[in-house]
Copies of this chain bind each other. A is one copy, B any other.
């Protein structure tokens, strides 16, 4: 395909994309396919000679679309949002064309520098403490990771490295392996599965801190565990706090937890994967109070800030803590401007992802982004009111942002059956969670285009299916 054909096909694709998104409501949000459906529709080997382009586009509708869960549909209320906006898509086209791999400053200075400045912009939007802003002289700063999982892992690894060094400084006779076997990381029992996974990868123990009746960790419970563990000869070194848990959007009490971590010389990482975007609104910013105690902080603009996946933003108080942990630098990567490189992450290669941030911030403006957050919270509150007005249902956790946890009063079995019927209806899509042993339905406002009509429609669907269920024997 040459440039001329790309111009033609590119225009067609732009229209296909616009058509897809404009008419997405008409597609069933959840696909009606069985595992393995695709293999039978596709040849077993790649073609020797080129296929026809038009056939490929026909196959997108014939083979791909029937198996897509439409995350951008306004009837998608599952998991958390996957951000999507036209400005981000335009920036991604530009990113693909430039096609640079920004693993060092010299590999494409604009790529490293725009990222640093965009992380400063975003950090200021969140009113992060000064030490997280790179500015021109700061010791901290931000970096784009692919996902929150990677940010958590990097913070845990940096903390591990720092803890081992500290122990060995005062006790040079202690071997690294022995120290590692005594290190303990902590997180909420409600923390995302990737936090536990980070400890498995890092080869360190992780203890799960029980939560209070709002599914949040407070200072008391952590302190108690730390005392027990210290008494047993263990070395607490890391706590991952969650702001906006995946199950119920609960907020750990970081104003209590932060001082404890600081006193105990533990690294505090804050995972605000979903909720972080909302902190650009003054009314939600108080939930981030306590950030001043944190060593690192992460959230996903690719969830709720209209920047297409992947764009997970992470800030660290001291760049050297992250960079120093894993720097391995061969000659082919050396360059005089070393410190601007990006040794803050697992992958070496990286796309020019900050272009998406730049386009989105400039084309929405801070007020436009705030409006997006507020609209989705209002919709969640609207859904909450509908649930509360129906005596057959109960709300299972405080609705703070765009997530509503609810269930039919009654058995877990009943709620499992309700969810099964909802999923099979394919008109709306939800996933469950477990809270205090109860099977709970999660209603997350996800799509950029979801409005009150879609929420009302979803509620009608849910109540209708519930009626059928409650009237039958199930």
**Residues in B whose Cβ lies below 8 Å from that of A96:** 17, 84, 88-89, 92, 308
Contact present for B51 and A79 (CB under 8 Å): no
> Interface of A with B (CB < 8 Å)?
1-7, 9-11, 13-18, 20-22, 31, 33, 35-39, 42, 44-51, 53, 56, 60, 63-72, 79, 82-90, 92-94, 96-101, 105-111, 113-114, 116-117, 120-122, 124-125, 136, 146-147, 149-150, 153, 157, 160, 175-178, 180-181, 192-194, 196-197, 200-203, 246-247, 302, 308-310, 325-326, 328-333, 337, 340, 346-349, 351, 355, 358-359, 361-368, 431-434, 439, 442
The 9 tightest CB contacts between A and B, nearest first, are A177-B181, A67-B110, A10-B14, A38-B113, A147-B347, A6-B86, A17-B97, A51-B362, A84-B99
Contact present for B202 and A203 (CB under 8 Å): yes
**Residues in B whose Cβ lies below 8 Å from that of A53:** 363
User: Do A93 and B177 contact each other (CB < 8 Å), given the known contacts A46-B121, A50-B362, A71-B101?
Assistant: no
**Residues in B whose Cβ lies below 8 Å from that of A99:** 71-72, 82-84, 308-309
Number of this chain's copies in the assembly equals: 2
**Sampled A-B contacts (12; CB under 8 Å):** A11-B14, A16-B94, A16-B97, A46-B125, A47-B365, A51-B365, A67-B113, A68-B98, A68-B109, A89-B96, A331-B432, A331-B433
**Residues in B whose Cβ lies below 8 Å from that of A4:** 18
A83→B96 CA distance, assembly (Å): 10
Contact present for B346 and A150 (CB under 8 Å): yes
Q: Which of B150, B326, B358, B432 contacts A347 (CB 8 A)?
A: B150
Contact present for A69 and B109 (CB under 8 Å): yes
User: Do A330 and B246 contact each other (CB < 8 Å), given the known contacts A6-B90, A67-B110, A308-B96?
Assistant: yes
